[in-house]
Amino acid sequence: MSKNIDQIFIANPITTNASTDLMYFGQSPYGVGNDAAMTYTNFAAQFGAPYTASALTSANDTNVTLTLGGTPTTALLHAASITAGWTGQLSLARGGTNANLTASNGAIVYSTASAMAFSAVGSTGQVLQSAGAGTPTWSTPTYPSASGTAGKILRSDGTNNVYSTSTFADTYAVSTILYASSANTVTGLATANSAALVTNGSGVPAWQTMTAGQVLIGTTSGAPAAAAINSGTGILVQNSSGSITVSLSGTGPGTLTWNDVAGTSQAAAVNNGYIISNAGQTTVTLPATAAEGSVFAVQGKGAAGWILQANTGQVVHLGSSATSSAGSLTSTNQWDSVTIVCVTANTTFAVTSVIGNLTVA
């Protein structure tokens, strides 16, 4: 079996200086022709004489430790040492700071875009204030030196933090509305279902509950009241949850009550219409008095037709034509019809719609 130099000379150290002594180095596999020889003189010049095993040692640096494996105490022909050191900064990716930092007592560590850094040292009582992407700084808010009285809250007056003049309750119920019940006293107004906020004649707020279709109606004194809009002559009002529907009821100005006429004469009433069913011609006479806006209508049905007769002093205008005083409009066809409106009280009427060719007299 072949051996290395260390194994040979530890077992058989050279102790002679004979220049003619040869040291054979066996090669593997061993053979007569593959040995190499070296004189002691040459060996000593190459490796030192006499040969003694030497150690490999290490010198650690701060936070850097070298551990030598094997048998470092006899690993070398000549003693040697490895000294650990550090160059540059350890990057953030490797758990370092990527900066050459000098600590200050009370400084705060923060991050720049590429490295860690220390903030300046603040003063007693200061608070750290963000500068966005910039370096954080220390700020000096002013606080009262003593607690305020019960119910006061801490607020800024634009320069310092001070206690409020107004007082507040410790708790408020859900949906409570806050208002000043007196100077500098904040009170809670309890909520109410389906209600509107109103104030009375002194400005004190209160809830006005409301039912379906009600609206608030103001007063010259006191709080607005909740009331429904009621139906009136010719007006129908329907109150519903969340809506109010107003419609014409078929009576009153602008609407007509229709009447069937079976005789030869009919005295017209304001806001009435007449269906002429008589077999003979029927005369419908306007009333002597009619307010402006009063409406009258005549609808033909009987074969003999109808006459709409005005009174003395009354005139009916049909487009560019007009009746004489106490004149008339006469149908020329069974199904002719006309609607007129009083435009000057008692005296002047105008046709608003017409079907057929009426005779104006």
Nearest to 270, CA basis, from 247, 252, 250, 248: 252
Kindly tell me if the per-residue pLDDT of 22 is higher than 60: no
Quick check: 306 and 281 in contact, CB under 8 A? yes
Alpha-carbon distance 338 to 357, whole Å?
10
Q: Which residues contact 202 (CB under 8 A, 6 or more apart)?
A: none
Tens digits of residue pLDDT in 128-161? 889 899 999 998 877 777 788 899 998 888 888 8
SS3 category, 262: coil
Tens digits of residue pLDDT in 65-120? 888 888 888 887 778 888 887 778 888 888 889 998 999 999 999 999 999 999 99
Q: Where do the domains of the chain lie?
A: 5-47, 144-201, 257-360
Cα distances (angstroms) measured from residue 321 to each of 295, 336, 339, 341: 19, 18, 15, 16
DSSP 218-245: --SSS--EEEEPPPBTTEEEEEETTEEE
Task: Name the percent of the chain lying above pLDDT 70.
Answer: 83
Tens digits of residue pLDDT in 330-361? 999 999 999 999 999 999 999 999 999 999 99
- Per-residue tokens: 189: 């107004």
Q: How confident is the model at residue 45 (pLDDT cuts 50, 70, 90)?
A: low
Alpha-carbon distance 307 to 225, whole Å?
53
Tens digits of residue pLDDT in 296-309? 999 999 999 999 99
| Fold topology of 257-360 | Jelly Rolls (2.60.120)
Alpha-carbon distance 153 to 144, whole Å?
12
Q: Which residues contact 72 (CB under 8 A, 6 or more apart)?
A: 55, 56, 57
Task: Provide the β-strand partners of residue 58.
Answer: 82
Tens digits of residue pLDDT in 91-104? 888 888 999 899 99
Helices of type H across the chain: 5-11, 40-47
